[in-house]
């Protein structure tokens, strides 16, 4: 496919906001995230959280009360200081709404200190977002990301990826799009198309399944391509699947041609459905024969045919009233089944498989403190520290 063809397909979409009455939640509710716990850093975060609880959990109430005491209204804000280690511990120990409130107050003070005094290099944004993700607090996520007192605190793509994934998991698809637009308006990442966030917003558009969402997705892909940004395969397949929902198989084919992984299960199945809508059955039969012969009696999870893809092709063939082709397709279907090439997952399940790649967050969950031994604040430390407690490294 030429770049000219791509530009022709997407030419003319206006940069307009999607009205809320157009983008509504569908009847089907998404129950899982688009990124695995590992790729979001949640597994490491939970490990660190357990480690902190093992050391400070029994003294949590006393530890937290010290900070609440320092925030009394009769004390000047300039007298209160929040250090990296304390904020780290409070984030890891937070469980309740009251704990989160304390955490947010400390974040605001810590952020102001960094702005005024120019010290502190650790970015807490992704760590705090992992806490709110684990505690399932989407409303608090939106609150802190738009808090003027925390302006710049969450200026990391990993923070927005975590926030958008949580909203997606909760089926709050319009808010995924709204947050993406808010993120792009900040222009702090060096790109307006952070690829993991683009995947999430395109997934939200697919779930919404409306004409407004479709136009938004096409415009986003076109702008990203024109700017030289890489649109990940998962984002392209979401948009192609949405194009099929909109009865535009040619656009779906144009989108799928942008990925080099043509044999990947989602790409292959979407292409087969698009080809059936375009009455290109000879190409469909060539693809199915290649699967039967090339992968004879081998099961490839990344190259199988989804059962609903088979159903869609058969349905379109029956509408055409071509008994000869229908008989040939039935023979190929039997061969696919005998060769174990029919996937157990539907196409929707394939599209929504969580991405497993490791996040490229430059600030993984408390990685800077991984080798540190957790130590309580001075007032809570025993006079004779255990031998396994070493000195902490410099923040």
Structure tokens at 227: 């700017």
Q: Are 213 and 245 in contact (CB under 8 A)?
A: no
Contact 243, 229 (CB under 8 A): no
* Number of Cβ atoms within 10 Å of the Cβ of 177: 26
Query: Could you read off the pLDDT of 286-295 as tens digits, one per residue?
Result: 999 999 987 5
SS3 content of the chain, % helix, strand, coil (to 5): 60, 0, 40
pLDDT value, residue 295: 58
Find, among 129, 184, 205, the residue nearest to 161 by Cα: 129
Sequence-distant (≥ 6) Cβ neighbours of residue 324 within 8 angstroms: none
What pTM value is reported for the model? Answer: 0.80
Which residues, including other chains, have CB under 8 Å from residue 148's CB and lie 6 or more apart?
A: none
Q: Which of 235, 270, 175 is nearest to 35 (CA)?
A: 235
The DSSP line for 100-168 is: HHHHHHHHHHHHHHHHHH-------HHHHHHHHHHTT-HHHHHHHHT-GGGTTTT-SHHHHHHHHHHHH
Backbone angles phi, psi at 239, to 5 degrees: -70, -40
pLDDT of residue 370: 36
Distance CA 47, CA 263 (A): 37
* pLDDT in the model for residue 261: 85
Query: Which of 190, 118, 199, 119 is closest to 156 using CA atoms?
Result: 190
- Helices and strands counted in the chain (H then E): 18, 0
d(CA 350, CA 345): 6
Pick from 281, 283, 258, 268: nearest CA to 351: 268
Distances (CA, A) of 43 to 47, 84, 133, 168, 283: 6, 22, 12, 19, 44
End-to-end CA distance of the chain: 52
Distances (CA, A) of 191 to 116, 145, 161, 292: 27, 19, 14, 43
Angle at 354 between CA 252 and CA 44, to 5 degrees: 150
Chain centroid to Cα 347, Å, comes to 19
Q: Residue 164 corresponds to which tokens in the numbers above?
A: 């958008």
Please state, in angstroms and rounded to a whole number, the distance separating the CA atoms of residues 247 and 258.
20
pLDDT tens series, the chain, 395 aa:
433 334 334 433 333 332 333 223 333 344 589 999 999 999 999 999 999 999 998 999 999 998 998 887 545 555 678 888 999 999 999 999 999 999 999 999 999 887 765 555 678 999 999 999 999 999 999 999 999 999 989 999 999 999 999 999 999 999 999 999 999 887 767 778 999 999 999 999 999 999 999 999 999 999 999 999 999 999 999 999 999 999 999 999 999 999 988 889 999 999 999 999 999 999 999 999 999 987 554 555 566 899 999 999 999 999 988 899 999 999 999 999 998 999 999 999 999 999 987 544 333 333 333 333 334 444 444 344 443 433 333 33
Q: Given CA atoms 295, 300, 303, 304 in this order, what sign does their dihedral have?
A: positive
Number of neighbouring beta carbons within 10 Å of residue 298: 10
pLDDT for residue 363: 37
Domain ranges of the chain: 22-369
């Amino acid at each position: 496919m030429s770049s000219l063809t791509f530009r022709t397909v997407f030419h003319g979409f206006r940069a307009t906001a999607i009205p809320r009455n157009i983008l509504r939640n569908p009847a089907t509710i998404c129950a899982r995230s688009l990124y695995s716990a590992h790729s979001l850093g949640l597994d490491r975060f939970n490990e660190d959280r357990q480690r902190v609880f093992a050391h400070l959990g029994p003294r949590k109430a006393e530890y937290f009360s010290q900070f609440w005491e320092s925030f009394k209204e009769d004390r000047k804000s300039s007298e209160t200081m929040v250090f990296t280690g304390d904020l780290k511990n409070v984030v890891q120990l937070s469980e309740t709404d009251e704990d989160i409130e304390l955490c947010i107050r400390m974040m605001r003070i810590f952020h102001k200190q960094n702005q005024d005094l120019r010290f502190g290099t650790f970015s807490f944004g992704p760590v705090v977002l992992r806490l709110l993700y684990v505690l399932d607090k989407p409303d608090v996520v939106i609150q802190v990301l738009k808090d003027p007192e925390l302006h710049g605190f969450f200026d990391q793509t990993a923070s927005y990826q975590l926030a958008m994934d949580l909203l997606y998991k909760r089926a709050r698809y319009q808010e995924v799009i709204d947050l993406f637009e808010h993120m792009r308006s900040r222009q702090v990442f060096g790109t307006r198309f952070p690829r993991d966030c683009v995947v999430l917003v395109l997934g939200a558009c697919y779930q919404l399944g409306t004409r407004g969402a479709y136009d938004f997705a096409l415009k986003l892909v076109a702008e990203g391509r024109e700017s030289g940004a890489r649109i990940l395969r998962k984002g392209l397949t979401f948009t192609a699947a949405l194009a099929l929902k909109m009865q535009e198989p040619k656009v779906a084919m144009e989108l799928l041609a942008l990925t080099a992984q043509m044999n990947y299960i989602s790409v292959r199945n979407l292409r087969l459905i698009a080809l059936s809508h375009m009455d290109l059955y000879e190409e469909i039969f060539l693809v199915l024969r290649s699967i039967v012969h090339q992968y004879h009696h081998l099961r490839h999870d990344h190259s199988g045919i989804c059962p609903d893809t088979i159903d869609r092709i058969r349905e379109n063939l029956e509408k055409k009233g071509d008994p000869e082709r229908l008989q040939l397709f039935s023979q190929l279907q039997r061969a696919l089944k005998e060769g174990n090439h029919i996937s157990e997952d539907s196409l929707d399940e394939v599209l929504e498989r969580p991405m497993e790649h490791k996040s490229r967050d430059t600030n993984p969950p408390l990685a800077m403190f991984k080798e540190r031994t957790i130590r309580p604040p001075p007032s809570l430390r025993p006079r004779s520290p255990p031998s396994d407690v070493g000195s902490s490294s410099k923040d």
